[in-house]
Amino acid sequence: MAEYTSMGTSSSLPGGVWSGVVKMTEGRYRMLATLAGSDLLVARPYAVSIGELSAGEQKAIYAAVNLSGYVCYVGQTQPSSRSDHVASGRINQHLTSESKREEWAAYWVIPLQESTSAAKVFRLEREVCARLGLPVRNRRWKARERAFYASS
């Protein structure tokens, strides 16, 4: 497992993997879930281990955490075709990266109503990142996403 500096980056993994600066707790999850308002499907104030399926959501905000419970990454998923367990499916896509496989231990899911608009999903992702002090994106934005992240 990586060693972590106080600034939230790994000192022993190549590329300075983000290790998080805020610990996810049940209380912090509940605060973040309230941001969804009526778009929240159901609160799930617990971590799901990497490799386990999430509970059948169609759209979601998710937060990956390391073994110590610090949030490493926040993302969202809203696939164009209907699919269950979209958060765990998206997490598995991320795990093609060796650094994420080594660092991520679990993830928390804020499941959203299937009717939640794309704009609201992107806004919630931004808000959760801001509350946790994380960057919104760690890669170049896709052209279709840029407008959502640039809007207020």
pLDDT above 50 for 13: no
Look at residue 101 in the predicted model and tell me its pLDDT.
Answer: 82
Between 31 and 55, the more confident residue is: 31
Q: Whole-structure pTM over 0.85, yes or no?
A: no
Mean pLDDT, residues 123-144 taken together: 77
CA angle 45, 49, 52 (to 5 degrees): 105
Say how far apart CA 40 and CA 81 lie, in whole Å.
Answer: 20
pLDDT above 80 for 139: no
For the segment 46-96, what is each residue's pLDDT rounded down to a tens digit? 999 998 888 888 899 999 999 999 999 899 988 766 667 777 888 888 878
Look at residue 98 in the predicted model and tell me its pLDDT.
Answer: 83
Residue 7 CB burial class (10 angstroms; 0-12, 13-18, ≥19): exposed
Q: Check if CATH label 3.40.1440 holds for domain 26-135.
A: yes
The DSSP 8-state label assigned to residue 76 in this structure reads: E
